[in-house]
Amino acid sequence: MSRRDRDMSARLAPNKAPAAAALPQDLAWAGQSVELLKELHILTREGRLNQDSRRKLKQVDHLVHFIEQLIADIRPYDGALTLADHGAGKSYLGFVLHDRLWPGSGDGAGGVIYGIETRPELVTRSRDLAARLGFAHMRFLNIAAADAAQEQGLPARIDLVTALHACDTATDDAIAFGLAKQAQAMALVPCCQAEVAACLRQSKALQLARTPLAELWRHPLHTREIGSQLTNVLRCLYLESQGYQVTVTELVGWEHSLKNELILARQTGHYKHTAGARLRALLAQFGLQGLLPVRYPQLLKEGAVGVAG
């Protein structure tokens, strides 16, 4: 048992079961606490892993790996890292990050991970678990991502924004939050996306008459797929237009998740005006101009590119 697991076991007094099974060889969870993974119900009490849990663990572990690279370049605004995770769910990501960033619970050190989640029972569960584990750097807010920027309990600036499979437009809300909070970096793995597909569907007949490009979304399955693809392309352009350098990559192998696109954004302060212009051109091409004030409001501000056109 590693020192970390011994520390964890000591904090988990009622759980006297030995951390029996080692994690599978193909999972590189160096230093990851077996006891924490049991508490999160990723591992069974016997230390076993089912297929679903294995998938989730892979996703979280890979994302943590990318996030650690982002953190290495961050100079926290308030001296210690602040991170807001949107659509936190059971907060796997938050707990694993806490365990990595503040091994041994981190009492006395600064820094906070905020979990933003609409389902109250998940918030309660996460609060209880954090209290039981003595994870001192976690706060959980039972609010929608769209309301998070106005939430009094959050600091004016946040270093890092994450969203792992936050449903539908919650990823857009996380981006809006990140911009409002001047996030130094964002790590976003979008989930299912319905908004753009719904808009495409509405104007399908008109678009089919107007442009052969509309063949790309004539069939319902294609409407959904291109809607999802377009959504992420627009998100990337928006981030670039707002002073971020963007990288798009796979989170894990496609066999582990269909929702596998990872958007990494690093604040550079270089506002790419061509990206804003491209975004607006794409909205016009696809008949999606109605989304401009809703999802890309910064482009409507005075001096933004293409406001007149």
Which of 42, 113, 123, 164 is close enough to bind ligand SAM by CB under 6 A?
164
Q: Which of 64, 70, 96, 170 binds ligand SAM (CB under 6 A)?
A: 170
d(CA 24, CA 50): 11
Q: Please, which of residues 173-202 interact with ligand SAM by CB under 6 A?
A: 173, 191
Determine which helix (DSSP H) or strand (DSSP E) holds 189, and give its type and residue range: strand 185-189
Nearer to ligand SAM, 163 or 214 (CB): 163
CB of 55 to ligand SAM, least distance (A): 11
Distances (CA, A) of 206 to 103, 202, 231, 292: 57, 9, 20, 20
Please tell me whether residue 115 binds ligand SAM under the rule CB under 6 A: no
Other beta carbons within 10 Å of 57: 23
Q: Which of 242, 82, 231, 63 has the alpha carbon at shortest distance from 148?
A: 82
Indicate the pairing of strand 112-116 with strand 138-141.
parallel
| Listed residue (227, 206, 199, 229) closest to 289, CA to CA | 199
188 vs 237 by CB, closer to ligand SAM: 188
Residue nearest to ligand SAM (CB): 89
d(CA 154, CA 158): 8
Instruction: Tokens 């933004």: give the residue.
Output: 304
The least distance separating ligand SAM from the CB of residue 232, rounded to whole angstroms, comes to 16
Residue 116 binding ligand SAM, by CB under 6 A: yes
**Interface region with ligand SAM, contact rule CB under 6 A, candidates 74-82, 165-173, 243-251, 276-284:** 165-173
Binding mask 123-152 for ligand SAM (x = CB under 6 A): ---------------------xxx------
* Token pair listed for 134: 């003595």
Burial 74-83 (b: 16+ CB within 10 A, else e): bebbeeebbb
Which of the stretches 8-16, 98-106, 160-168, 228-236 binds ligand SAM when contact is defined by CB under 6 A?
Answer: 160-168
Kindly identify the residues of this chain, within the stretch 71-100, that bind ligand SAM according to CB under 6 A.
86-90, 92-93
- Interface residues toward ligand SAM, by CB under 6 A: 86-90, 92-93, 116-119, 122, 144-146, 164-167, 170, 173, 191
